[in-house]
Amino acid sequence: MCGIAGWFSEKENLLEQTDTLRKMSETMSRRGPDEHGEYVDKHAAMLHRRLTVVDPETGRQPMISMNGEYSIVLVYNGEIYNTKELRRELRSNGFSFKGHSDTEVILKSYLMWGEKCVEKFNGIFAFAIYNEKERTIFAARDPIGVKPFFYTVYNGGFLFGSEIKALLANPKVKPEINDEGLMEIFFLGPGRTPGGGVFRNIFELKPGECGVYKDGAFRKRTYFRITAREHTHTRAQTIEYTRFLLTDAIERQLVSDVPLCTFLSGGLDSSIISSVSSAYFRKHGKTLDTYSVNYEDNKKFFQKSLFQPNSDEDFIGIISEHIASEHHSVILDNTELYSALFEAVSARDLPGMVDVDSSLLLFCREVKKDFTVALSGECADELFGGYPWYHNEEILYEECFPWSRSQAVRRSILKDGALPHGEDYVHQRYEETIAETDTLPSDTPHKKRMREMFMLNFRWFMQTLLDRKDRCSMYSGLEVRVPFCDYRIVQYAYNMPWELKSLNGREKGIVRTAFSDILPESITWRKKSPYPKTFNPIYWELCVKGAQKVISDKGSPLYDILDHNEVRKIIDDPEGISSPWYGQLMRAPQILAYIAQIDFWLKKYDVKIV
């Protein structure tokens, strides 16, 4: 995993832009703390910051191959999990290799198959290839969108980077937002429209997209899309194939030349990953290290709810003992949790999922002290129907994003007349996603709706979580891999009938059944519980102070946008929030924290509202 950035210019001589290139590269130093490299000629600059995971000696970047007198230059962020198969195929076609890095495999694949190379890769990646002879840049992002690729096109040039901050370090890009950007923040946030970067003129390759910049234009195409197909497997075959796909994905992602661990919450998804990983480690004479996160005094203040029926710590010991892992529990201080809200904005370049972000950032910082790579259980719920909105018929058929059903609280905190089209903007984004959903003529209304719900989750909720995971982990130079995001699993789950997906009447029933023999029964059939949140009143008090500071500061960019009385109502009556702002647990403390994050973001990035 790394940070990449680049600049192609028809007009500027980039050999004279050393200061700007240095600033762009430095923005990514946290993503790649081990090494940095650059390739610069008159028209193109390719920048790389490396987090060394595989092949330290011969995997350095930018990686260059000569095509006659001209250079082919690659910068790449990610991991390719079918490297061995591709290397074997490339060797059979006459290619040789200096090392065993996946970087070299990507470069040789491009030389072999051109732009179609992306269709050969199983992995998480974002990369760009500069062709000096053709004066083009070919860029691609992985099918699921695990790794980011932001870009902007201006008159005579093209800029790209792993993070928005890399683009903002170039004077060609201004930190500006318009009403559309404000609606992203206040009506969709912390979600984000696919392909958008909130800032004006900053965009992102969508999952499964690639493109070529040439002659002043960036022409994109979709090389991977989720398609509707008939599910032909029987119940037994579906169980077996689900187990095969996930086990294969996990084991492929255990390859590393540096220390690797897993995240273990005691829930189904992380327990499966940790169990398979532990068995793999034992075969190789090693013991797996596992990590969990919680908050000071959370046992004392824990509040049981429909969405969070029990605490993770009741189950972590059971599964850790069962798989014989060396377990580490990270306990977070609530004051630090609040302070890290603002570091999380710096990591993400945008307001985010507040304490869900800041806790992950602090957690990854601790894990990084001993490990460079971790495996995590993200995205099983989106793919296999783990969330309540898949199971509640009333919510299922509502024409809205189910994790943000009501815009009432979002509207309430804004002054009268502010962003009057916010609700319409959200509904338009919803309709666009529904229109992209691939179906079969034979689909029943229920099956069609389940496909639509899948796409809503895949395009939106899942991407928000992947954004969070990438930015908050890479902020500490920790690579986190997500086995459930294997494109084969995504495609298979999309076409799996609901009665199989929810086998035995349970959320993720097929996954539970497929791995029931390697997990304790209490883990296999544990009711889903979301990422842990703090219930400590210290955190609430800090969120209150943060929001009060914003609405009392006449110099705040939000002073003339927010309805101060409505913000005070949330402070005075936190239980009065009728529905979450986002997800299941983003309620009063998180709304106040989000307001503080927006204020910090506008100031830190010197955002101009245009």
Q: Which residues are catalytic?
A: 2
Distance CA 230, CA 238 (A): 13
Q: Which residues lie below 8 Å from residue 191, measured CB to CB, with a gap of 6+?
A: 401, 404, 460, 461, 463, 464, 582
Residue 480 falls in which region: left (phi positive, over 0), alpha (psi -120 to 50) or beta? beta
Distance CA 359, CA 352 (A): 12
Distance CA 74, CA 44 (A): 12
| DSSP designation for 33 | -
Q: Which residues lie below 8 Å from residue 188, measured CB to CB, with a gap of 6+?
A: 404, 425, 426, 429
Tokens of 495: 């076409």
Distance CA 500, CA 146 (A): 27
Distance CA 405, CA 143 (A): 28
Q: How far apart are the first and last CA of the chain?
A: 36
Tokens of 2: 């790394």
| DSSP designation for 559 | T
CB neighbours (10 Å) of residue 545?
Answer: 14
CB 523 within 8 A of CB 268: yes
CB 414 within 8 A of CB 308: no
CA distances from 389 to 80, 361, 448, 453, 511 (A): 33, 28, 15, 9, 18
Question: Measuring CA to CA, which residue among 204, 201, 203 is closest to residue 608?
Answer: 201
